[in-house]
Amino acid sequence: MDFDLSEDQRLLQDSLTKLLADKYKFEDRKRYLKSATYWSQEMWEAYADLGLLGLPFAEEDGGFGAGPVEVMLMAEAMGSAITLEPWLATVVMGGGFIRHGASAAQRAAMVPQIVAGKLKLAFGYTEPQSRHDLHDVATTAKKDGAGWVLEGRKGVVLHGDVADHIIVTARTGGARRDKSGIGVFLVPANAKGVTRRGYPTTDGLRGAEITLDHVSLPAEALLGDAGNGLALVDRVMDETIAALAGEALGAMDALQKLTLDYLKTRKQFGRPIGTFQSLQHRAAEMMVSLEEARSMAMLAAMMAGEADALERRRQMSAVKVQIGRSGKFIGQSAIQLHGGIAMTMEYLGGHYFKRLTTIDTMFGDADHHLTQLMAMGGLNQAA
Amino acid sequence: MDLRFTDDERAFRQEVRDWIDANLPADTRERLAAGRTPTKEMQLNWQKKLNAKGWCVPHWPAEWGGRSDWSAIKRFILLEELQGTPAPIPLGFNCNMLGPVLIAFGTEEQKKFFLPKLANLDLWFCQGFSEPGAGSDLASLKTRAVREGDHYIVNGQKTWTTLAQYADWIFLLVRTNPEATKQQEGISFLVVEMNTPGITVRPIITIDGAHEVNEVFFDDVKVPVANLVGTEHRGWDCAKFLLSNERTGQARVGASKDRMRRLKLIAQNAPGGERPMIEDSRFRERLVEVEVQLKALEMTTMRVLADENRQLSERKPNPASSVLKIRGTEIQQSISDLYVMAAGPYGMVGADPDGDRWNEPELAPEWATLAQPTYFNWRKQTIYGGSTEIQKNIMAKAFLGL
């Protein structure tokens, strides 16, 4: 058992932390939000220069062969700066499908492009009726000669407005809520019949509604198995939850520090408000919650590559429950301890709170994963 | 970063498990599995076996029977297996409290006389810290020790003294200098034989009906000066040292995991309306929620252990250690609450205290009759050893800089 980082991991962490400290101050972030893409192309290129866009890809495909620990460290640093770029969508989610579902030829064509920052991906799985259920898929994929025709709509697609390819789930057979009969397809954003409407999400990131109107795709657009795509989706989602746990940890940690600074400097009744016991105890509870989240983010990094799918799903649902619970408690407490100032757009604190709220919502909130965990019989077997 | 146990550690866990299976008496195992505490004889018998095996005080220096070749992780595995069987764990007063204090502060004679007897439970110690007027504010204690020649004369009262009825000796905080400017500076640490004239033990029966704690009265009790541990008036140093030791055991992860495993099995059979209790969605939700909390606690324990495994000079205070007492005790209380829910109306049938047999023939299974008493008793966990509120005060100062 060893919780220490390797020298390489430490260097990687340092380089991104330095870059963000230098180029991703709150004022910078406000500026990036007003740019044409609503995030920073300059930073995207800087991530590419640091190698962050190629981290999890295999070396033979042109990546750096890094594991879930490296991904967690990157996500944590990005969480502490609440970065806006499509890293999670492209590298972790989209990249996950390419790594686990694409053919060697597809990987050879796409991975170097992703690594260079020239290709962006997104994953569309939510539909208007589906809430958090990944298997609730009304979008259809019908066989058309050797290829496929897709019909349907995907919603709240993270960075779907800028992606060059959108990966979607579509039903190849069975009824709307069946767990089998789901395929995963790689859809070029410029394919005929694809329309998209981009919009800001509440945390300042970007979402898109994607309509698929009789979109014809070649046979190789299908990633993996035509009828058993859900296993692939689960695998990628679990890696995504692990990365998201890192990002949430970074945001919680930064918000906790911001709150402590405020408690030490803000004065009322003639003394710093951090000298009042009721506020101290709430701050201590925030710290307990933060350390629980840190422990579970580490568990996530350890379990993201677990081969036993059921065991991995169990642990990742537990992680998502904890991240959701901790994020909500720390976010709400931070605002309460600050008072009105943290309710303003002009203050950094509220932006962490908003990101932590969307992190809980994404890929199933804490209650959803608690229900999932219940259905799997809980974390541990009975004696 | 690799959070898995090594092959060596896994092999050691198996070795411990096999040894416990081969050596733990069946009646002890059954009694603990039902949720009761061991009898005095069970504790004595088991601790002597553990000590003979060399597994009682691995955290002590090798010259006093410790295993300096063991990592903190190995010690944790042993503790987790004992808690998880469950088997009695070495008496905390002897092995985790007084022993380390004597090793750090005791004279050579004290070490030679006491340490082997502490490990082997030849002497059973109890703890005389709290007083009626000194709970969370421990340093305000009033029990007085006045030096007269080669003796201290002790007068005063201690309370919440756990298992004083079994104890041969007591370790004690007393006020030796009431004039000290800071109240922490006038306190001394004594060890006293319980059969000394002038000591009276009076039981306190807690709301679960158990006799676990006591009041101990000192009326002109003569204590040889040789029984002073450390420096006179500097007993607070010993007390602080004692309270900071071995935090990973406080979380009782192994015990909670065992209780949860048993609860899941119980809930598969316990009636919950049309279906067994385990299928009651509200109950199940609470159960799984506690499982998640317990997992986070387990991982946090591992982080603190990895820290304890470092050289002393490389250690930093780890805020994760504060989580252990606060969440560990809350989780134990939540589990006891789940047992009450699982038991339902037959949980109102009282558990028979030892020797009494009002549940024969059986009205309700033993676990069900113990559910409410355990729930009542475990309210203590967030109170003793520094209440949750005191822990938060400590965190605010030590880690948050408030």
Helix, strand or coil, per DSSP, at residue A185: strand
Whether the CB of A277 is below 8 Å from some CB of chain B: the reply is yes
Q: Which of A178, A199, A227 is the last residue of a domain?
A: A227
Shared domain for A137 and A88, answered yes or no, is no
Q: Let me know if residue A192 belongs to a domain.
A: yes
Which residue, among A262, A291, A367, would best test binding to B if mutated, counting the most B CBs under 10 Å from its CB?
Answer: A291
Angle (CA) A321-A341-A337 rounded to 5° is 50
Tokens for A1, please give them: 């058992």
Whose CA is closest to A302, among A369, A242, A253, A364? A242
pLDDT of residue B150: 97
Amino acid occupying residue B227: N
Domain assignment present for residue A1? The answer is no
Q: Quick one: B136 and B209 in the same domain?
A: yes
* Tens digit of each residue's pLDDT, chain B (402 residues): 777 788 999 999 999 999 999 999 999 999 999 888 999 999 999 999 999 999 999 999 999 999 989 988 899 899 999 999 999 999 999 999 999 999 999 999 999 999 999 999 999 999 999 999 999 999 999 999 999 999 999 999 999 999 999 999 999 999 999 999 999 999 999 999 999 999 999 999 999 988 999 999 999 999 999 999 999 999 999 998 887 765 666 789 999 999 999 999 999 988 888 899 999 999 999 999 999 999 999 999 988 888 777 765 666 667 777 789 999 999 999 999 999 999 999 899 877 666 566 777 788 888 999 999 999 999 999 998 889 999 999 999 989 999
B101 within a domain of the structure (yes/no): no
Residue with tokens 């030490």: A264
Q: What mean pLDDT comes out for the span A57-83?
A: 97
Give the pLDDT confidence score for residue B349 in this predicted structure.
Answer: 86
Q: What is the pLDDT of residue B313?
A: 60
Which amino acid makes up residue A44? W
| B252 and B225 inside one domain | no
Burial grade of A175 (CB within 10 A; 0-12, 13-18, 19 or more):
exposed
Distance CA A86, CA A53 (A): 10
Domain shared by B268 and B338, yes or no: yes
Measuring CA to CA, which residue among B166, B134, B150, B161 is closest to residue B217?
A: B161
Q: Which of B209, B238, B267 is the last residue of a domain?
A: B238
- Residues B162 and B193 occupy one common structural domain: yes
Residue B110 covered by a domain? no
Among B231, B234, B136, B243, residue whose Cα is nearest residue B184? B234
Residue A2: inside a domain, yes or no?
no
* Number of domains comprising chain B: 3
Crossing angle of helices B253-269 and B320-343, rounded to 10°? 20
Total tally of structural domains belonging to chain A: 3
Does B97 fall in a domain?
no
Give B293→chain A minimum CA distance, Å. Answer: 8
CA B334 to chain centre: 18
CA distances from B45 to A21, B35, B51 (A): 61, 19, 10
Q: Chain A window 239-268: which residues touch B at a Cβ cutoff of 8 Å?
A: 260, 263-264
Are residues B374 and B250 part of one domain? yes
* 3-state percent helix, strand, coil for chain B, nearest multiple of 5: 55, 15, 30
Q: Determine, yes or no, domain membership for B50.
A: yes
Q: Show the domain range for B80.
A: 7-90
**pLDDT score at B304:** 86
Instruction: Provide the phi-psi class of B46: left if phi over 0, else alpha when psi is between -120 and 50, else beta.
Output: alpha
CATH number, position A211: 2.40.110.10
pLDDT of A383 > 60? The answer is no
Q: Among A227, A245, A265, identify where a domain stops.
A: A227
Give the nearest partner residue to A288 out of B6, B284, B323, using CB atoms.
Answer: B323
3-state secondary structure of A325: helix
Whether residue B251 sits in one domain with residue B383: yes
Both B258 and B364 in one domain: the answer is yes
Q: Which of residues 306-335 of A touch B (CB under 8 A)?
A: 315, 318, 321-322
pLDDT band at A303 (very low <50, low <70, confident <90, very high): very high
**A202 shares its domain with A252:** no
Both B363 and B271 in one domain: the answer is yes
d(CA B315, CA B317): 7
Residue B204 CA: distances (Å) to CA of A168, A259, B136: 67, 45, 19
Residue A381 in domain: no
Q: Which residues contact A118 (CB under 8 A, 6 or more apart)?
A: none
A2 and B3 within 8 Å at the Cβ level: the answer is yes
Q: Which has the closest alpha carbon to A168: A156, A56, A119?
A: A156
Q: Are residues B218 and B300 in the same domain?
A: no
- Provide the pLDDT for residue B318: 74
CATH number at residue B312: 1.20.140.10
Determine the structural domain holding residue A351 and report its residue range.
230-375
Q: Is residue B103 part of a domain?
A: no
Q: What is the pLDDT of residue B350?
A: 79
B80 and B133 inside one domain = no
Q: Choose the final residue of a domain: A198, A227, A256.
A: A227
Same structural domain, A196 and A288: no
Instruction: State which of B35, B66, B90 marks the end of a domain.
Output: B90
From B200's Cα to the closest Cα of chain A, the distance in A is 39
CA distances (Å), origin B230, targets A110, A382, B349: 71, 49, 50
Are B402 and A260 an interchain contact pair (Cβ–Cβ within 8 Å)? Answer: yes
- For the residues A4-32, what does the mean pLDDT come to? 95
Give domain status of residue B175, yes or no. Answer: yes
**Beta strand extents in A41-181 (DSSP E only):** 121-124, 140-144, 147-154, 165-171
- Judgement on whether residues A86 and A177 belong to the same structural domain of the protein: no
Residue B111 lies in a domain: no
| CATH code for the domain in which residue B163 is found | 2.40.110.10
Whether residues A197 and A252 fall in one domain: no
- Tell me the average pLDDT across A46-73: 96
In a domain, A380, yes or no: no
pLDDT at residue B1, rounded to an integer: 72
Phi, psi dihedral angles at B50 (to 5 degrees):
-60, -40
pLDDT at A73: 97
Neighbour tally for B53: CB within 10 Å: 11
Q: Does residue B109 fall inside a structural domain?
A: no
Burial track B343-357 (b if 16+ CB lie within 10 A, e otherwise) = bbeebebbbeeeeee
Cβ atoms < 10 Å from Cβ of A62? 17
Q: CA A87 to CA A132: how far, in whole Å?
A: 22
- Between chain A and chain B, how many beta carbons pairs sit less than 8 Å apart? 151
Q: Is the domain of A137 the same as that of A205?
A: yes
Same domain for A286 and A243: yes
Does a structural domain hold residue A328? yes
pLDDT at A182 over 60: yes
Checking if the pLDDT of A181 tops 80, the result is yes
In the listed set B205, B238, B271, which residue is the last one of a domain according to the structure?
A: B238
* Phi, psi for residue B335 in degrees, rounded to 5: -65, -40
The answer to whether residue A382 sits within a structural domain is no
Q: Residue A145 falls within a domain, yes or no?
A: yes
Which residues of chain B are within 8 Å of residue A374 when distances are taken between CB atoms?
281, 284-285, 288
Q: Are residues A289 and A165 in the same domain?
A: no
**Whether residue A328 is found in the same domain as residue A282:** yes
DSSP, residue by residue, B36-95: PPPPHHHHHHHHHHHHHHT-S-TTS-GGGT--TTS-HHHHHHHHHHHHHTT-PPPPHIII
Neighbours of B215 (CB within 10 A): 17
Residues B84 and B142 in one domain: no
Tell me which H or E stretch contains B202. strand B199-205
In this structure, are A218 and A140 located in the same domain? yes
A238 and A364: one domain?
yes
Mean pLDDT, range A269-290, rounded to an integer: 97
A372 touches chain B (CB under 8 A): no
First to last CA, chain A: 26
